[in-house]
A and B are shown apart, each in its own frame.
Chain A
Amino acid sequence: MGTIEANGKTYETDEEGYLADLNSWDKDVADVMAKIDDCDLTDSHWEVINFLREYYEEYQIAPAVRVLTKAIGKKLGKDKGNSKYLYELFPYGPAKQACKYAGLPKPTGCV
């Protein structure tokens, strides 16, 4: 367990830096998590993060990267639905890294 400070609030995380409580998430903590990884969140990042939050809301799981890639392609266009685009945004792995900033648990099947 650890904690992250953002904008005067404290957020609990698990040992890998994922938020302990999905409901404690807000945009401030996402920005701080990204800064820790030397990443500045742009609109393109937010598109993916928001997509993941909607996916989780609907299905109660974080999608596998293959499923994420396909679904992004369908929702945001073919130019974005490929691993090259997603890995450029999230070099530590789109599913793992983007899910972390979105406040979701680590995707099922990720080790």
Chain B
Amino acid sequence: MLTYILRRVFQSVLVLLVVGLVAFAMFRFVGDPVDTMLGQERTMQDIERLRESLGLNKPFFVQYWDFLVRAVQGDLGISYRQGRPVAEIIAERLPATLELAAVSGVFALTFGIVFGIFTAIRRKGLAANAIMTLSLIGVSLPTFLIGILLIYVFAVELSVLPSFGRGEVTDLGGWSTGFLTRSGLIALILPSITLGLYQMTLIMRLVRSEMLEVLRADYIRFARARGLKTRVIHFRHALKNTLVPVITVTGLQLGSIIAFAIITETVFQWPGVGLLFINAIQFVDIPVMAAYLMLISVMFVGINLIVDLLYVAIDPRLRA
């Protein structure tokens, strides 16, 4: 058991290190930050001096090593664009992303399960077929298009929801939340739908197919034979057995919701870490890009590790 855990942790750290190495190897292709940092009237000496002081003349693995050495000491560097510590900027931006991810996660889960059950029970119904068809559109349309579409309908044409931003936020000891104000809450609606739509359809299809499978099982037939109410059969016996794989998938999807937030945040000018990352790419703000990529990979690897360890807890065969 202990060796298994240790092995998984070791593997996770290895994955993180490789992700970092690949990221640093790629930064050279993103461009040169020096040009965006210096004005039109810079001299060639200015360019050289800045490159030298930023350590850009070093090979990328040396830059990566410097980054790692500082990162383990809790220093993520200084943003090229804002001149502020990266850790501070990320801490400032993370609440926006996490709140958006949480709301879209809840949205995806709630509607995914409800629609999934509905389409499984009323398999032949008109409404169920309509939902299935619409979900296909939801899966196939790119996120930014859905976002723009929602903005066009609800902000421009109907003027009922804001087209950008987080509304008014309240500061709770370093955590800025949009949950406490009216404008903060309505600002969450469109971005959450945009971000959660894909996950919602995914969960819906999963629930539907699991449910159809379970409904064919012997114990459900037996329950019917016993004359139990349909509602009880569907929701107590069938649904419970459907949820195990759903929970696993949802856990794993949480990471991708946070990672995919980049596009949604850009469309809605949502001030989270995804938008920060896009800005960083445009400006070639290497410290911010590095910190963001490491943060996301830590999150992915962490969630996977927890899921792996949970399997051990659930499945006795793995403990041998």
Do A and B truly interact? Answer: no
Which A residues are closer than 8 A to B by beta carbons?
Answer: none
